[in-house]
Amino acid sequence: MIEIEVIKATNPDLIGKRVFYKNSISIGGFQQDVYLDLTTQYQLEVIDDKLNFNNKSNKYLLNGKIAKSSRFLKLNDTITIGEVEFKIIQFAQEKEFNLRNTLNTETEKIIKENPKALEVLKFLKSKL
């Protein structure tokens, strides 16, 4: 999970908090997870409970200081790229989501709590 807050942007509609329930997001222009009207793509990725800001040799400001390379970020770090500025609100490693395993686990819980539910679930499965 990655949560950022866009503090400054060329378009005021882009300002605000955004939460992503995945371990990696892309930031930049169109077709990115976070559209910020940038010509270059950047990436935020949670790796072993650390947040990596992946940058391919473009200058940016990290907490007001010039940076060029990829860096591990901390909570409340601020990234400035041109007219755009965003802040790291929180991040955490997301467990890999598997729909089939989740459904099986939840079905087992339902059956344990209410054994009669098994007949209902069998009926519903037969209708699929």
Cα(98)–Cα(38) distance, rounded to whole angstroms? 33
Q: 10 with 85: CB under 8 angstroms? A: no
SS3 assignment, position 5: strand
Cα(113)–Cα(108) distance, rounded to whole angstroms? 9
Tokens standing for residue 125: 């499965």
Cα(48)–Cα(52) distance, rounded to whole angstroms? 10
Q: 121 with 112: CB under 8 angstroms? A: no
- In tens, the pLDDT along 96-127 reads 666 777 788 888 888 888 888 888 888 887 88
- In tens, the pLDDT along 30-85 reads 778 888 888 888 999 999 889 999 987 688 999 999 998 899 999 999 999 989 99
